[in-house]
Amino acid sequence: MQILLLAGDGIGPEIMVEAEKILAALALPVTLDRALVGGAAYAATGHPLPPETLAKANAADAILFGAVGDPRFDAVERHLRPEQAILGLRSELGLFANLRPAKLFAGLEDSSALRPEVASAIDLLIVRELNGDVYFGEKGMRTTATGEREGYDIMAYSESEVRRIAHVAFRAAQGRRKRLCSVDKANVLETSQLWRDVVIEVAADYPDVELSHMYVDNAAMQLVRNPGQFDVVVTGNLFGDILSDQASMCVGSIGLLASASLSEGRQGLYEPIHGSAPDIAGKGIANPLAMILSLAMLLRHSGGDEASAARIESAVAKILADGCRGADLGGSMGTAALGDAVVAALNG
Amino acid sequence: MQILLLAGDGIGPEIMVEAEKILAALALPVTLDRALVGGAAYAATGHPLPPETLAKANAADAILFGAVGDPRFDAVERHLRPEQAILGLRSELGLFANLRPAKLFAGLEDSSALRPEVASAIDLLIVRELNGDVYFGEKGMRTTATGEREGYDIMAYSESEVRRIAHVAFRAAQGRRKRLCSVDKANVLETSQLWRDVVIEVAADYPDVELSHMYVDNAAMQLVRNPGQFDVVVTGNLFGDILSDQASMCVGSIGLLASASLSEGRQGLYEPIHGSAPDIAGKGIANPLAMILSLAMLLRHSGGDEASAARIESAVAKILADGCRGADLGGSMGTAALGDAVVAALNG
Ligand SMILES: CC(C)[C@H](C(=O)O)[C@@H](O)C(=O)O
Ligand SMILES: CC(C)[C@H](C(=O)O)[C@@H](O)C(=O)O
């Protein structure tokens, strides 16, 4: 398997080093390649997703992605900002299905901002659509009739876009507790009305899955009130962005949440859901576990290697149960020490 | 002062009765009128916001609003659904500034889904723009080039729309702890970029207020992780809808959160942030406190009667501190009993 490593900006490079340690420790038959992405690529080449990087991404079986985002480039034109690299990869590679699992690790009951009894019930999967919505519609600045500046973005979903993500979500629910909650804002948005109509149509193919619908405002509330009520949640690009970050706090730290972005085939991009965290970059204190768990998802989904994926996940669970904690969880272990602990647990 | 009571659907009428008890107990010199709204109006007249209701609303100094939404009408055309009544009132009356305060009442430290130490630090005000964004842009269903159905909604903000809500938020911050956090998604949306640019421009008029910016995904996370970090939050219509519902859980129950929707003048509409809760309607178990606290906001903002507003708020705080709890907070007091308890506390 050909894996492209895209470390990116901020803490991306330091956490990528730890994922590589795990790959080395597992001694799997993979080929690694690297390329520049995000602010690092913009600084070197003038573009956050240079053609060479895109070509390597297209050729790879799987991409392990760190993070992009660099405040030094906040003022450059939108299409050249670091974030455009991840948006470009998602759309160029047709990575429409973003899987974001959230589960409380044993030993972290007291790390969640939620009460332990609320937090320990969390075991959910957010399936976020990643190629459409207000992210990819026409957008721009225009001048109104009265001569004012106006910013606009078109939110839209077509039938086929909703159908393919709905199938992914229903199938995921079949492999779990067979409950799917579709989140939208159909009382206000036509985009959401189409979303809801199509999800209901697709449900006919999955009589074994119990489907429910929830408005996004209520979902944001329920995710704090009683996150244990959710099994699989399927939603659009924007609502998925918000709800999955929110869910991360329920499990103690955003530094623990991995994600897979999948296309119709086996190719996928795997990344922590956290960002580049420029404020702590280079200090050696970033939590590498979301990155390492993203590698596990890569091996499972693109590599078909469930055994290695499960081995990594058990090792991470073990070190957390043993009390290993980085700064994000109120502990003092640094990035490298956490990676080393996972390696030791893999071998132990 | 002329107050229009719009009880609406679901639990709206039962909680409105309790607000009226408070008004009666205070014996204020107000004139009350009533009109149909939402599903109740649609059922009786064929329109959720009949011309007569709108005329009365225009003429009133303030509107006390229950809730709208009735699943019996989920399938009617969008412009005739119950929710259109509140959207119509907000836009027809130019109610662009929605104030949603969230603070933990003493005695409810153990009712929040958050840990007591996290929850007790909450004292924030969400200032939500209410007349623009993807709520009020052009929207519809269209057919794509390939013959598919597509739902779309245009998200947009103009300079003047952002400027007027920013002024409201900065002034609110001046009257509080002087910190304002503007929430957007400027790394993806042009609407957000304009939002951020204009908020920064307006900041020049308020050198005493400390301004920060946060992406909405991060804000949803921070609101769980450490809500105590926020003083005033200003955001657009859609993000404000999501974040304010989320914040409600931090304070124990959505049945405790009131809101004011204000125009440039003194006229305002006051409503609980919860919905019509059709599942518990008619059972006499709905929490009337958000409705009663909305009346307090009405007296303060539209009536200029700070004393009565503070008296109501103290009475609500007292009964909660005394252990009065409805079903939403795990207690057994019904709607009427809670209203009666507030009246007793007012007089006591
Ligand atoms: C960096 C940003 C464009 C991105 C998004 O909004 O999708 C990030 O927040 C994420 O969730 O992966
Ligand atoms: C009923 C609905 C249209 C409304 C909204 O989305 O604004 C509600 O959720 C609210 O927050 O007042």
Mean pLDDT rounded to a whole number for chain A:
96
Does B225 contact A115 at a Cβ distance shorter than 8 Å?
no
Average pLDDT over residues A140-159: 97
Average pLDDT over residues B252-276: 95
The residue to which tokens 């985009």 are assigned: A191
Cβ atoms A183, A191 nearer than 8 A: no
Cβ atoms A303, A293 nearer than 8 A: no
* Residue A74 pLDDT class (50, 70, 90 cuts): confident
Percent share of chain B, pLDDT over 70: 100
- Pick the more confident residue, A12 or A78: A12
- Which among A113, A151, A244 is the nearest to B114, CB-wise? A113
**In whole angstroms, what is the distance from residue A121 CA to residue A100 CA?**
17
H helices of chain B, where? 12-26, 39-45, 51-59, 83-92, 116-119, 159-174, 190-203, 216-225, 237-250, 289-301, 306-321, 335-347
Percent share of chain A, pLDDT over 90: 94
Average pLDDT over residues A57-82: 94
**In whole angstroms, what is the distance from residue A178 CA to residue A182 CA?**
13
* pLDDT for B250 beyond 90: no
- For residue A245, the chain B residues in CB contact (below 8 A) are 217-218, 220-221
Angle between helices B335-347 and B12-26 (to 10 degrees): 10
Average pLDDT over residues A155-182: 98
* Residue B83 pLDDT class (50, 70, 90 cuts): very high
User: Angle at Cα A279 formed by Cα A69 and Cα A71, nearest 5°?
Assistant: 35
* pLDDT for A250: 85
Ligand 2 neighbour A188 (Cβ under 6 A):
yes
Residues 6+ apart with CB under 8 A from B174: B206, B208, B209
Residue A68's closest chain B neighbor by CA?
A: B187
* pLDDT for B191: 98
Residues forming CATH 3.40.718.10 domain(s) in chain A: 1-98+257-348, 113-250
Active site residues of B: 135, 185, 217, 241, 245
Interface check for B113 against chain A (CB to CB < 8 A): the answer is yes
B117: exposed, middle or buried (Cβ count in 10 Å: 0-12, 13-18, 19+): exposed
Residues forming CATH 3.40.718.10 domain(s) in chain B: 1-98+258-348, 113-250
* pLDDT for A53: 98
Closest Cα to atom 12, ligand 2: which residue? Answer: B273
Residues 6+ apart with CB under 8 A from A254: A245, A248, A272, A273, A274, A290, A328, B221
DSSP string computed for A178-244 = SEEEEEE-TTT-HHHHHHHHHHHHHHTT-TTSEEEEEEHHHHHHHHHH-GGG-SEEEE-HHHHHHHH
Ligand 2 atom closest to residue B241's alpha carbon, by position in its atom list: 11
**In whole angstroms, what is the distance from residue A274 CA to residue A269 CA?**
15
Q: Please give the model's pTM, rounded to 2 decimal places.
A: 0.95
Ligand 2 neighbour A332 (Cβ under 6 A):
no
* pLDDT for B252: 87
Average pLDDT over residues B41-49: 97
pLDDT digits (tens, 9 = 90+) for B296-324: 999 999 999 999 999 999 999 999 999 99
* pLDDT for A294: 98
Using DSSP's 3-state secondary structure scheme, residue A35 falls into coil
DSSP summary character for residue A137: S
**In whole angstroms, what is the distance from residue A308 CA to residue A310 CA?**
5
Average pLDDT over residues B135-148: 96
* pLDDT for B27 beyond 90: yes
* Residue B295 pLDDT class (50, 70, 90 cuts): very high
If you measure from the C-alpha of residue B272 to the centroid of ligand 2, how many angstroms do you get, rounded to a whole number? 11
Mean pLDDT rounded to a whole number for chain B:
96
* pLDDT for A317 beyond 90: yes
Q: How near does any CA of chain B get to the CA of A134, in Å? A: 8
* Residue B75 pLDDT class (50, 70, 90 cuts): confident
pLDDT digits (tens, 9 = 90+) for B168-209: 999 999 999 999 999 999 999 999 999 999 999 999 999 999
pLDDT digits (tens, 9 = 90+) for B92-105: 999 999 999 999 99
Residue A154 bridge partners (DSSP): B154
If you measure from the C-alpha of residue B47 to the centroid of ligand 2, how many angstroms do you get, rounded to a whole number? 18
Average pLDDT over residues B214-238: 96
Q: Is the CA virtual torsion B208, B213, B214, B215 positive or negative? A: positive
In single-letter form, the type of residue at position A105 comes to F
Give, for ligand 1, the residue of A68, A83, A136 to mutate: max count of ligand atoms closer than 8 Å to Cβ.
Answer: A83
**In whole angstroms, what is the distance from residue A195 CA to residue A186 CA?**
8
CATH topology (fold) of A113-250: Isopropylmalate Dehydrogenase (3.40.718)
Architecture of domain A1-98+257-348: 3-Layer(aba) Sandwich (3.40)
Cβ atoms B316, B282 nearer than 8 A: no
Average pLDDT over residues A29-34: 96
Residues 6+ apart with CB under 8 A from B315: B342, B345, B346
Closest Cα to atom 12, ligand 1: which residue? Answer: A273
* pLDDT for B249: 83
Cβ atoms A274, A254 nearer than 8 A: yes
Residues 6+ apart with CB under 8 A from B272: B15, B66, B67, B255, B257, B258, B259, B290, B291, B293, B294
**Maximum distance among all Cα pairs of chain B, rounded to whole angstroms:** 70
* pLDDT for B348 beyond 90: no
- Which among A192, A220, A225 is the nearest to B220, CB-wise? A220
* CATH (residue range B1-98+258-348): 3.40.718.10
In single-letter form, the type of residue at position A335 comes to T
| Binding annotation of B for NAD(+) | 275-287
* Residue A348 pLDDT class (50, 70, 90 cuts): confident
* pLDDT for A288: 98
Ligand 1 atom closest to residue A98's alpha carbon, by position in its atom list: 12
* pLDDT for B248 beyond 90: no
Closest by CA position to A281, among listed A5, A4, A16? A16
* pLDDT for A87 beyond 90: yes
- Which among A191, A239, A249 is the nearest to B224, CB-wise? A249
Backbone angles phi, psi at B68, to 5 degrees: -130, 155
Cβ atoms A152, A187 nearer than 8 A: no
**In whole angstroms, what is the distance from residue A32 CA to residue A233 CA?**
33
Task: Count other C-beta atoms under 10 Å from residue B240's C-beta.
Answer: 24
**In whole angstroms, what is the distance from residue B95 CA to residue B269 CA?**
8
Average pLDDT over residues B9-29: 97
Average pLDDT over residues A126-142: 97
* pLDDT for B80: 94
Residues 6+ apart with CB under 8 A from A279: none
The residue to which tokens 């050198």 are assigned: B207
Give, for ligand 2, the residue of B49, B63, B87, B271 to mutate: max count of ligand atoms closer than 8 Å to Cβ.
Answer: B87
**In whole angstroms, what is the distance from residue A276 CA to residue A67 CA?**
5
Average pLDDT over residues A307-324: 97
Average pLDDT over residues B101-112: 93
- Restricting to A residues 270-309, those with a Cβ less than 8 Å away from any Cβ of B are 275
* Residue A208 pLDDT class (50, 70, 90 cuts): very high
Closest Cα to atom 11, ligand 1: which residue? Answer: A241
- For residue A85, the chain B residues in CB contact (below 8 A) are none
Angle between helices A335-347 and A289-301 (to 10 degrees): 40
Both structure tokens of A44: 């070197």
